[in-house]
Amino acid sequence: MCDLMDVSVHIHDRISSLRSMLDLAAVELPQNKIKKLGQELSVVGGLLEQFEKCVGQQREELRHLKELEESFKENVGGVQHMKDNVPAHMPKKRGPANGGEAALKQDEAVQPAQQPVRKSNKSCIRSMDVITLPEFESIPQYMRGRVSYDQMNAAVQSINTAVTAKYKILHQSMKTLNNHTRKLHQRFKEQETKDTKGQNFVVEEDIREFSKIKVDKRFQGILNMLRHCQRLREMRGGGLTRYMLL
C-alpha cells in the first residue's frame, strides 16, 4: 500500500532542488548542470505519476470502507430489531412422550446384564409447550378472533402454573400438608378416574386456584385453539371437564 506522506515529502524535496537550479538560470549553467536539471524533471514527473496512482488506490479503499460501513449499519439494525422483538415465550424441544424410553433402551443395549433403574412417574410433572408463531398463524381466523399471540402463550403459562402447583401437592406426603392443601389433595384425588391414570390434567377450578388468568369466554376460546394445536384434549365426566395435557 502506498504511503502518501513519504511520496509527498519526496516530491517536495525534488521540487526544492529544481527551484534551486532555476534560481541559477540567470547564470550560464554548465552543460552537465543542464543535463542534471533534465534528469530531475524526469524524476519529478515519475513521482507525480506514482502519487496519482497512490491517490487512486486510497480512493478505492475509501469506497470499500464506506461499503463496509453501510453493511455494518444494516447488521446492527438487524440485531437491534431482533433484540427488540424477542418473543416473550420461547418454544422448547419436545422430548419423548413416554418420559425417556429411548434413553432407557440405549442403556439396556450398552449394559444388557444390568437391570435398568425405573424412575417413578409420580415425580414427573408435564408442561405444555408454548405455541410457535407458525402454529398460531395456522389457526383459522374465526377461531382466533381478537386473541393475540402473546395472550395465547400467557394462557399456556397459566395452565402450566396450575398443573405444576396441583401435582406438587399430590406428590407431597399428607403429613406435610396444611388444612387447605390437604383439602385440595383430597379434591384432586376424587377427580381422578381410571382414564386419567398416569396423565396430568386440570379443571377450571384449578386454574382459578393457582393462576391469575380470568376463566371467561375468551379463555374458553383459547382452550379451543390449544386443542386445535394438539396441546390438550378434553375429558368430560362426573360433571367436570378435565383438560388433559398432550
Give pLDDT tens digits for 95-142.
Answer: 444 444 444 444 444 444 444 444 444 568 889 999 999 999 999 999
User: E strand or H helix at 235, and its extent?
Assistant: strand 232-237
> Are 61 and 145 in a shared domain?
no
Q: Cell 433484540 maps to which residue? A: 83
186-194 average pLDDT score:
93
Q: How far apart (Å, rounded) are the C-alpha atoms in residues 65 and 50? A: 23
Instruction: Print the domain residue range for 11.
Output: 4-84
Does residue 108 lie within any of the structural domains? no
Does residue 111 lie within any of the structural domains? no
Last residue of a domain, one of 56, 84, 112: 84
Does residue 30 lie within any of the structural domains? yes
Does residue 11 lie within any of the structural domains? yes
Sheet holding 240-245, edge to edge: 201-202, 240-245, 232-237
> Are 234 and 171 in a shared domain?
yes
> Are 28 and 132 in a shared domain?
no
Give pLDDT tens digits for 152-173.
Answer: 999 999 999 999 999 999 999 9
Last residue of a domain, one of 58, 84, 110: 84
Q: What angle do CA 143, 146, 150 make, to 5 degrees?
A: 100
**By the 8 A CB rule, do 153 and 115 touch?**
no
Does residue 112 lie within any of the structural domains? no
Give pLDDT tens digits for 198-240.
Answer: 899 999 999 999 999 999 999 999 999 999 999 999 999 989 9
Q: Is the pLDDT of residue 77 over 50?
A: yes
> Are 145 and 70 in a shared domain?
no
**For position 117, what pLDDT does the model report?**
44
> Are 181 and 128 in a shared domain?
yes
Does residue 91 lie within any of the structural domains? no
> Are 164 and 76 in a shared domain?
no
Does residue 74 lie within any of the structural domains? yes
CATH at 155: 1.10.10.1890
Q: How confident is the model at residue 79 (pLDDT cuts 50, 70, 90)?
A: confident
Closest CA to 214 of 158, 175, 164: 158
Last residue of a domain, one of 84, 110, 136: 84
**For position 92, what pLDDT does the model report?**
57
Number of domains in the chain: 2
The mean pLDDT value of the chain amounts to 80
Q: Is the pLDDT of residue 184 over 60?
A: yes
Does residue 103 lie within any of the structural domains? no
